[in-house]
Structure 1
Amino acid sequence: MKNLAEKHQANGDNETIDLEKSLIPRKKVKFNYSTRSVIYGDIGTSPLYVFTAIFSTPPTDPRDTMGCLSLIIWSLTIVPLIKYVLIVIRADDHGEGGTFALYSLLARYSGLAIRGETRNDDLTIGNYDAVSIQSHKDTPNFIYRNKKIQGVLLAFVILGASLILGDGLLTPAISVISAVEGMEVQVPSLASGVVPLSCAIIFFLFIGQQYGTDKVSKCFAPIVSLWLFSLAAIGIWNISGDPSVLKAYNPYYAFNYFIRNGSDGFNVLGGVLLCITGVEALYADLGHFNRHAVQISFSFMVYPPLVLAYMGQAARIIEDPTVVSNTFWITLPQTGFIYWFTFILAILATIIASQAMISATYTLIHQAMRLDCFPRVKIIHTSHHHQGQIYIAEINWILMALVLVVIIAFQHSANLTNAYGVAVASVMLITTFLLTTAIQVVWKFHAVVAIAFFLTFGLIDGAFLVSTLQKVPDGGWFTLSFGALLATIMGIWKWGTTLRVEYELKNKTRLDNLFEDHSGTASSENSNVLAENSTANGNETITSATTTSAAITSTTITIRQSQKNQLRLLGSGLKVHRLPGIGMFYQDASLGVPLSFSHFIQHLPAAPETLVFISIRPVAVPYVGEEDRLVVRKVGLYEGIYKVIARYGYMEPISQSRDFIQKLIEAIRAIDPEQTSLKPEAHPEEQVVTYVVSRQQVRPNSGSWFKKTLLKCYVFLSNNSRETHGNWHIPHEDIIDVGMTIPL
């Protein structure tokens, strides 16, 4: 520990960092759904359409059916069970899974900042792992050293997230319509009602999102469990007619299928892939549960029923190949009660699968926003008890409209299977690539292990992807187009936001460039005495006037004690009036004086007695505990002026409410007990707080026509997105907008 502390000090890291405390694991802040089985809704409803998607015409050779069954069994075994349940979900970011969790891990272990500059005081966050505390300056990995690799990594993450969102568009459509089609098997005259009923279910499902899923979620686990039990029972009933299908566990039948059918046999992988859709949702929803619960429940409660269901369907196809026209419903016992009970259960199960993807879409959008990868939208928390239950109105209505268009356009589940699968295969390959990198960067295994993992699972994922790409002309283009559009939007937003933050960093100023030196003399000795560091409450507040004054104010300025509250503008000598209250000036970069303050003070020479230059800093962890939330420093010798960094994880909502202000006041008092404007006896509601935010107008200023076009797209997205502070719980009457133009 001592060596690490000395290493940081040798590198010029003057911040006081309690490494002993930073290595103590802190109790993770988690939200907990009662929807214990909701993550299996997608993969659990796949038996509704897999065999129908594989066989466009009835198979004439029973060996083809056995071969496809063997492919399904081994796909379920290798991809969901071995790859995801046993390996991938181990790459969790403090319990969180998914594409952005992997990106967070790689960014943190490579020393990359989510926004702006890298800060060593982030190492004091309890969620930062011990290994990641090792200085990336001394031992930089290949990601930190190469900007191009960083760009490729971010591009893969954005593309993967976009394709998952595309999967979220098709899952409700194909799940619901494949379940509703069951009624036309028993009552053919109802065939014309499949699409209207499917649209009605989707409509009411999305309408109900605004009320939250807290109450409905209590029914999810029993329904999915009952559905899986029904799949197992129906599968055993069908297997009893032809137990020979049990031999499909022998991979010989899969290899024999490829040998006999050649390239035509390769095409069937696009249909086989549908049996493992939902594996990415399983990984992305990891934060709702824990790894061991997922491993046990999938291995013993999900995997066996699915295998039995597919075996039973294969047994019936061997007996009567014509059942492939609607395999699941025709292979059901046609007894009235059993059939219609299963029909209702299937409808409920597909609603759950749809709900899982809708909720995952909201979560993914929220994560992307927190990592500066998506335009700002309004986040509504629908539960007082579960932090993860959110609702995004704009996304909800857009998603509903698109799902309804998909149902009306494709009409039948068989048509939808052509569009389904391309996104799944692409995301699987992207996850393999990211995890291959994490094996070496995060887990510190030898490169040979990472290469072996990529060659093994990358070959399987690549085979699925190549097979599904053949579906592009028949509907796969829709998924790819939607994913490409989302990836373009996310990429432009990330690029434009990065340029805007870099502009603020390049044009940062110091208080010395705004205000006069009252004494007219300089004394570095006195300055250094007055700029001593102070540390309070462990990790809660970290003070370093020396470091801050290097970026904000000169260390060679002397202000008399009696005059240090007096400010005069540099050049004009105009006196700046100090008014009662707290002024919160926000900035994207955590260095220098906010541009909003420079514009404000030049147009209106008045400032609150307590000036807070605050930066909302996203960090590469899911959650930041309240003890790690604030980094507070006093700015040089100026009385009542403070630099604050508020750190938030990518799974957390940002809050600047009265509770936050009270904690901020307590932190300021801890490092500056002589502060007279913040009375200890004053109630937080009595404090006058003004929130000053910049309303920035980006103006394309230079560069090629291509860059100017991209900047115009960014400006369009910015003008049509929510305000930066829209989700921060700030009273609207206390906000002041400072307009400024940023030429890029």
Structure 2
Amino acid sequence: MKLQKRPDANKLSLAGLLISLGIIFGDIGTSPLYVVKAIFSQGTIEKNLILGSLSCVFWTLTLQTTIKYVWITLQADNKGEGGILSLYSLVRKKAKWLIIPAIIGASALLADGMITPAITISSAIEGLAIRNPDIPTVPIVVVIISLLFLIQRFGTSVVGRVFGPLMLVWFSMIGILGLLYIVRAPEVFQALNPYYAIKTIVDHPQALFLVGAIFLCTTGAEALYSDMGHCGKANIRVSWLFVKLMLVFNYFGQGGWLMEHVGTQMGDVNPFYAIMPNAFVGYGIIIATVAAIIASQAMISGSFTLISEAVRLNIWPKVAIRYPSDHKGQLYVPSINLILYIGCMLIVAVFQHSSRMEAAYGLAINLTFITTTILMCVFLLRVHISKIWIVIFGVFYFTIEVVFLAGNLIKLTHGGWLTLLLASTLFTVMFAWYGARKIKNSFVRFVDIRPYFPIIAELSEDQSVPVFASHLVYLTSANNKNEIESKIMYSILNKKPKRADVYWLVHVDVMDNPHTREYAVEQLIPQKLIRIDFKLGFREEQRISLLFRKVVEDMVEKGEIDITSNYNTLRKHGFSGDFNFVVLEKIIAKTHALKWHEKIILEIYKTLKRFSLSEEKGFGLDSSFVTLERVPLNIPTTKDVAIKRLQ
């Protein structure tokens, strides 16, 4: 039975195209602010290098963004949703090891979410130094980033409505500015020939440095896939045609400016602002700042969505997730908002200038690209694409992305270390949480529930046992309806026997589909023991208390259950019986028998547990109706205990 039907919001439309411009292309759309500057920050401007670099940028956007993401990866459509964890959900049953690339990709994306606001907003604000060289830009950047993170708690749906038109202005502006310089140096169109890109990579003495800088033009390509659920693949593909054209115009326009300055050194000049007419620079800085804020907002919102998915998939601690508005997909994760803000402030404090941040940028998203390629190869196998094409896809993109990785690793000592540190920290959190759950589950023992049916039925009617609750609800992880955790049976029968009119078993199954919301009911003992299986998508909020109440109301309405209290007075007046949830918090009492790496994972898990939501809050239960029982999973038995009795 379905609890909710999800409307289709992904059809091709003018509104969808505008939304795509506003929330999909912000990161990749602001890359002209710093890419050309990063490429030519060192050494003398040379004609061959200009053509080679522009050729590399064009073919990177074509091969990496257009073909890999817009054309191929968007085909990995998980019921309209995309992103690294959506892709993992599609293939996770193929092999257990796929969790590793999924976690690496997710942690790298979160690290990218910290760097994007810092570098884009810094690059935009530094345009103020064109007319006021002594102006301190860092405090302005700090204030803007602080305000951006502050408003997250109030929701951004109102701001989101104007994102599309504002980004339309941005892309139109950069395209027109680029064209104005292209007409002055039309020879830049020679860069469309891939010969110049290959020659530059093969011949240039600092080829790896250039590759690392060129890679920055495609950062944000992952957002095309991650935000597919907000816009739909048709809107993304059509709007990308416009976005790519405007980006190429601007890059080639900056190349035209460079052609006029061959033989000189660029110094602190940013070609992005240099191609603007002097009278327009002030307006250009304002529009660039707005675009940078929109790009940052998109990354922050994407990080919230990513964490909500990670929580459902049990690879991130259970954290508070709020819904500040009724806007579709709008959510706010306070803990992640704080983590991203601290990360941004750390990057601004360490590097201060965007030219130094460029060294830290790119490495994290490069790792995400590689992990996406791994998962896509498995996905293509799943949909029965010819293995020859899968091998060609895998070898081609692994080669490109490993070359980019080598270029980004060159920047490791210049700032890439911070990216790696941030991503590694996030990976440790995810892997430890996932690993600890696996370790704990290995100690859970299940028993056949059917032999207990007569005992449970008798206990329910046993007047010598005081009533614990009219309705007693247990959350169970048993997938098989005929099985139950031995600890639950111990809780009902041994640990202070719990008498109830009706016993309920609730099982939650996180589905590979993002927006599934269904349930099934089975009366194991009619009117005495009832099992409810919820099937919830990995993007659905697990408000078990509310969902359970809805199911019970439906059952009462259909006459499947009578929840009227059995207390004489209350029954006489038609009052419902009380409900009590029993949550078993599984703990590992002794760790001496575990392997060394398992002990480390559990120690990290214990630390993370202090900052995560409690078991009952994690499942959306009202704590006033919850009994929490701590259950040791590995209690030593008396079997191996040797002791001598004296008398």
Q: Tell me the TM-score normalised to structure 1 length.
A: 0.78
Matched, 1:346 2:285: no
C-alpha distance in structure 2 between counterparts of 1:50 and 1:361, whole Å:
24
**C-alpha spacing 1:350/1:100, structure 2 compared with 1 (3 Å):** same
Aligned to 1:730: 621
Matches within 5 A, 1:316-715: 316-320=257-261, 321-323=264-266, 325-336=268-279, 338-386=280-328, 388-441=329-382, 443-504=383-444, 506-508=445-447, 510=449, 512=451, 516=455, 564=457, 566-567=459-460, 575-577=464-466, 581-591=470-480, 592-594=483-485, 595-596=487-488, 598-625=490-517, 629-635=518-524, 637=525, 639-658=527-546, 660-667=548-555, 673=560, 675-677=561-563, 686-701=576-591, 702-715=593-606
The CA distance in 2 between the partners of 1:78 and 1:341, in whole Å, is 33
**1:202-213 pair list within 5 angstroms:** 202-213=145-156
Aligned partner of 2:141 among 174, 190, 198: 198
Offset at residue 706 of structure 1 (A): 3.1
| 1:57 equivalent among 42, 47, 53 | 42
Structure 2 residue 76 is matched with structure 1 residue 103: no
**In structure 2, do the counterparts of structure 1 residues 324 and 315 end up closer, same or farther at CA, with 3 Å as the change threshold?**
farther
Give the Cα separation in 1 of the matches to 2:134 and 2:573: 71
Question: CA RMSD for the aligned pairs?
Answer: 2.7
CA distance in 2 between counterparts of 1:381 and 1:164 reads: 22
User: For the structure 1 residues 641 and 516, does the alpha-carbon distance in structure 2 shift closer, same or farther, using more than 3 Å as the test?
Assistant: closer
Counterpart for residue 742 of structure 1: 633
Q: What is the CA-CA distance between 1:181 and the residue it aligns to?
A: 0.4
Match among 106, 122, 144 for residue 177 of structure 1:
122
Conserved 8 A contact 2:616-2:623: no
| Aligned counterparts of 2:519 and 2:514: Cα–Cα separation in 1 | 16
Q: Percent identity?
A: 28
Q: 1:248 to 1:509 in 2, by over 3 A?
A: same
Match status 1:162 vs 2:107: yes
Deviation at 1:246, TM superposition (A): 1.5
Structure 1 residue 311, shift from structure 2 partner: 0.3
SS of structure 1 residue aligned to 2:319: coil
The 8 Å contact of residues 73 and 307 in structure 1, kept in 2 or not, is answered as: yes
Q: Measured at CA, do residues 511 and 718 of structure 1 come closer, stay the same or move farther in structure 2, by a change above 3 Å?
A: farther
How much does 1:577 deviate? 4.8
The answer as to whether partners of 1:691 and 1:735 remain within 8 angstroms in 2 is yes
Correspondence list, 1:104-143, <5 A: 104-107=89-92, 112=93, 143=94
- In the alignment, which residue of structure 1 is the partner of 2:641? none
Provide the rounded CA distance (Å) in 2 between the counterparts of 1:369 and 1:64.
47
Aligned counterpart for 1:93 among listed residues 74, 78, 94: 78
Q: Deviations over 1:571-620 (max 9, x none)?
A: xxx94455663222112333433534532543333333121111122111
Going from structure 1 to structure 2, the CA distance change for 1:727 and 1:29 (only over 3 Å counts) comes to farther
Instruction: Report the alpha carbon displacement of residue 331 of structure 1 after superposing the two structures with TM.
Output: 1.7
Q: Give the Cα separation in 2 of the matches to 1:364 and 1:264.
A: 36
2:171 match? 228
1:295 aligns with 2:183: no
- Segments of structure 2 that go 5 or more residues without pairing to the other structure are 566-570, 636-647
Asked if the contact 2:616/2:626 (under 8 Å) is kept, the reply is: no
Aligned equivalents of 1:434 and 1:59: distance in 2?
41
> CA 1:507–1:290 in 2, change beyond 3 Å: closer, same or farther?
same
For 1:659 and 1:413, the matched residues in 2 are separated by 48
Question: Counterpart of 1:656 in structure 2: which amino acid?
Answer: I
3-state SS, counterpart of residue 80 of structure 2: coil
Pairwise CA distance, 1:727 = 4.7
The alpha-carbon deviation at position 511 of structure 1 amounts to 6.2
- The yes-or-no answer on 1:152 pairing with 2:41 is no
Q: Which moved more, 1:651-660 or 1:349-358?
A: 651-660
Q: Deviations over 1:663-714 (max 9, x none)?
A: 23424776x84x44459x9999945222221233333431233322222222
Distance (Å, rounded) in 2 between the aligned partners of 1:457 and 1:250: 20
Number of the residue aligned with 2:133: 188
Q: 2-side partners of 1:682 and 1:43: how far apart?
A: 67
CA distance in 1, matches of 2:625, 2:414: 55
Shift of 1:44: 0.5
Q: Name the CA shift for 1:658/1:267 in 2 (closer, same or farther; >3 Å).
A: closer
Ranges in structure 1 where 5+ consecutive residues have no aligned partner = 1-17, 113-142, 144-149, 518-563
Match of 1:717 among 600, 604, 608: 608
**AA partner of residue 226 (structure 2):** A
Residue 96 of structure 1 aligns to a residue whose secondary structure is: coil
How far the C-alpha of 1:273 sits from its partner, in A, is 0.4
Distance 1:184 1:727, change over 3 A: same
Please state whether the residue corresponding to 2:428 is helix, strand or coil: helix
Q: Is the 8 A contact 1:611 1:641 kept in 2?
A: yes
Match of 1:43, as an amino acid?
A: I
Q: Give distance in 1, aligned partners of 2:104 and 2:430.
A: 9
CA positional deviation for 1:241: 1.7
**Cα distance in 1, alignment partners of residues 505 and 72 from structure 2:** 44
AA paired with 1:305?
A: M
Contact 2:65 2:218 in 1 (8 A): yes
Contact 2:178 2:275 in 1 (8 A): no
Compute the displacement of 1:324 (Å). Answer: 5.9
Other-structure match for 1:276: 218
Q: Which residue identity does 1:281 align to in structure 2?
A: A
State which drifts further: 231-240 or 699-708: 699-708
Report the secondary structure of 1:57's partner residue: coil
Task: Please state how far the C-alpha of 1:501 moved relative to its aligned partner.
Answer: 2.8
Q: Tell whether the 8 Å contact from 1:28 to 1:623 is kept in structure 2 after alignment.
A: no
| 1:658 Cα deviation from its structure 2 partner | 4.4
Contact 1:700/1:712 (CA < 8 Å) preserved in 2?
no
Offset from partner CA, 1:639-658 (integer Å, 9 cap, x none): 42111111111111012344
Shift, 1:264, TM fit: 2.4
Gap change, CA 1:61 and 1:677, over 3 Å in 2: closer
Residue 134 of structure 2 aligns to a residue whose secondary structure is helix
C-alpha distance in 2, partners of 1:682/1:394?
A: 49
Q: Give the match's secondary structure for 2:407.
A: helix
Which of 250, 261, 283 is equivalent to 2:193? 250
Distance 1:664 1:450, change over 3 A: farther
CA distances 1:406-435 after superposition (whole Å, capped 9, x unpaired): 101101111011111111222111111111
2:177–2:250: 8 Å Cα contact kept in structure 1?
yes
**Partner Cα separation in structure 1 for residue 574 and residue 82 of structure 2:** 38
Offset, 1:256: 2.6
Secondary structure (helix, strand or coil) at the match of 1:210 reads helix
Match of 2:643 in 1: none
- In 2, Cα distance between equivalents of 1:727 and 1:682: 37
Change (3 A) 1:667 1:676: closer
Q: Give yes or no for contact 2:25–2:220 (8 Å, CA) kept in 1.
A: yes
Secondary structure of the residue aligned to 1:181 is helix
Question: Paired residues, what number?
Answer: 616
SS of residue matched to 2:544? coil
2: distance between equivalents of 1:606 and 1:366?
A: 35
